[in-house]
Amino acid sequence: MSLTICNVHFTQQSEPIVWFSSPLAKLLRLRGRKSVNVKLGRETIPATVRTIKKGGHHVYLSAGLRRSVRIPKSGHVYVYNEDEGEIQFGPLIGVLTDSRIRSSASPFGERTEFVKQLLRLGQRRAYFFAFTPRDINWQQETVHGWFLESGGVWSRRVVPFPDVVYNRLPSRKAETGLQLTSLRERFVRKRIPFFNWSFFNKSDVYKLLDNDPEALRHLPESINNPTSGRIREMLEKHHFLYYKPSAGSLGIGIYRLTYHPRRGYFVRYRRNSENVLLRFSHFDGLMRMLRARHGSGLNHYVVQQGIRLVEIENCPIDFRFHMHKDGENRWVVAGIGAKKAGRGSVTTHIKNGGSLMTPELALGRIFVDRSDDVLKEAKEIAVKLSEAIERNYSHTLGELGLDIGIDRDGSVWMFEANAKPGRSIFKHPALKEQGRASLEYILDHCLYLSKFRKKEDS
Ligand SMILES: Nc1ncnc2c1ncn2[C@@H]1O[C@H](COP(=O)(O)OP(=O)(O)O)[C@@H](O)[C@H]1O
Ligand SMILES: [Mg+2]
């Protein structure tokens, strides 16, 4: 097999013909052939093949061939042949996303800027486009994709089904709907790699890792949908718990429960952008309050052992580890943000008064000369946790956002794993470079999942 970058040009002829410059024809073992199958994504079209005397790696496609294969544009792209007589251009990579609010300049709402960054970076290495579920034509097996032109404007083109789909559909609710479930299954049935599969629920991740002793060491004790009896037992055992909605995010609906044998039960939470602290002398009073606020919604809660996090100026600190699979299918830490909780806040979310800093700065203030070792160990554990999640999960994973706590002894804990992590940590001026690296990893991993790579799985 051969893989190389070539420069694609178009000609006027209407018959399906493809010309290769002589060095390229030699590399792709095409010399002496009369016809060849030309592939893009999931489309294959037979064409007449010719060689032209010209140096470099150039390809000329007739207008007729271009139209049937639906090659989106001229310029540099990979060309690859697995079998003799078959030439594949690409990879063709689709970023699946959507937005409720959209305009022609921002077709993916607030996600548009992220999609643009990714497409811009991928432009020279792939046919990189974005699409929404509405842009798929299942009958014709085509996608009405959004391509980014050099001036930063959008253009629409119909392309075959891609080699890889990077899923950034935003809505947890929409994702569990019948339509999107079958959308994913249809792609997988066509053997089109699709990552990530969906959002995670906290309880799903805890369950995934339940039989994985290596990962379990770093998971606070957690119970899904606990009875009030179990919550009480957990409070007596740990004196400090987090009670949180399994499908929650952004800290919404989270309670921090503490128990002092003499003083009673304390609960801290956020109510209408205010931090509240309540005391109950009896456990039943605490449960009554929670039930009054959530009713049967509590059936979708998890209770978790509370971890005494490291602090700066009496405010707890935790970390977002943004993880990617790289071009060799290995998990790597792309970037880490340290988040300091706002005063009195139950979580470290910026929206709740938290602030963002580099892990070096945060850990340096806490662990001083031990901080490099603590960070190194936390990175190793984050890789192990990602491997464990992937090992126990039945779908393709390429990206994870781990919420990691470090306690006062330096032990590392994972609070949750996000399968579609936000990118707010990369707004920090010191984390811009990591933000770029994160995009590179997405691209590299798409190249890995498509067949456009030199090495085979090992
Ligand atoms: N078991 C815990 N012990 C200590 N702090 C926790 C615990 N669980 C959550 N937190 C704090 O609350 C934050 C939000 O919790 P998380 O599980 O990530 O929920 P969300 O989905 O709302 O982000 C964490 O980043 C951490 O600061
Ligand atoms: Mg979180």
202 CA closest ligand 1 atom index: 17
Taking the model in full, what pTM does it have? 0.93
Q: How far apart are CA 68 and CA 60, in angstroms?
A: 15
* Contact (CB, 8 A) for 396 and 196: yes
Amino acid 172: pLDDT: 74
Smallest CA separation from ligand 1 atom 22, residue = 251
Which bound ligand lies closest to the C-alpha atom of 219? Answer: 1
Which bound ligand lies closest to the C-alpha atom of 244? Answer: 1
Structure token pair of residue 351:
């929206």
Smallest CA separation from ligand 1 atom 13, residue = 347
One digit per residue, the tens of pLDDT, for the chain of length 458 reads 789 999 999 999 999 999 999 999 999 999 889 999 999 999 999 999 999 999 999 999 999 999 999 999 999 999 999 888 899 999 999 999 998 888 888 999 999 999 999 999 988 789 999 999 999 999 999 999 999 998 889 999 999 999 999 999 987 777 777 777 888 899 999 999 999 988 899 999 999 999 999 999 999 999 999 999 999 999 999 999 999 999 999 999 999 999 999 999 999 999 988 999 999 999 999 999 999 999 999 999 999 999 999 999 999 999 999 999 999 999 999 999 999 999 989 999 988 889 999 999 999 999 999 999 999 999 999 999 999 999 999 999 999 999 999 999 999 999 999 999 999 999 999 999 999 999 999 999 999 999 887 654 43
Sketch out the chain's domains with CATH numbers. 2-90 (2.40.40.20), 93-195 (3.40.50.20), 222-305 (no CATH), 309-449 (3.30.470.20)
* Contact (CB, 8 A) for 406 and 413: yes
Cα of 417 vs centre of ligand 2, distance in Å, is: 8
* Contact (CB, 8 A) for 359 and 377: no
Q: Of all helices (H) and strands (E), which one includes residue 319?
A: strand 315-325
Cα of 396 vs centre of ligand 1, distance in Å, is: 25
Task: Report the residue among 218, 241, 244 best suited for mutation to probe ligand 1: largest number of ligand atoms under 8 A from its CB.
Answer: 244
Smallest CA separation from ligand 1 atom 9, residue = 415
Smallest CA separation from ligand 1 atom 12, residue = 347
320 CA closest ligand 1 atom index: 25
Amino acid 458: pLDDT: 36
Strands 86-90 and 35-40: parallel
Amino acid 105: pLDDT: 87
Beta strands in 124-183 (DSSP E): 127-131, 136-137, 142-148, 154-160, 164-167
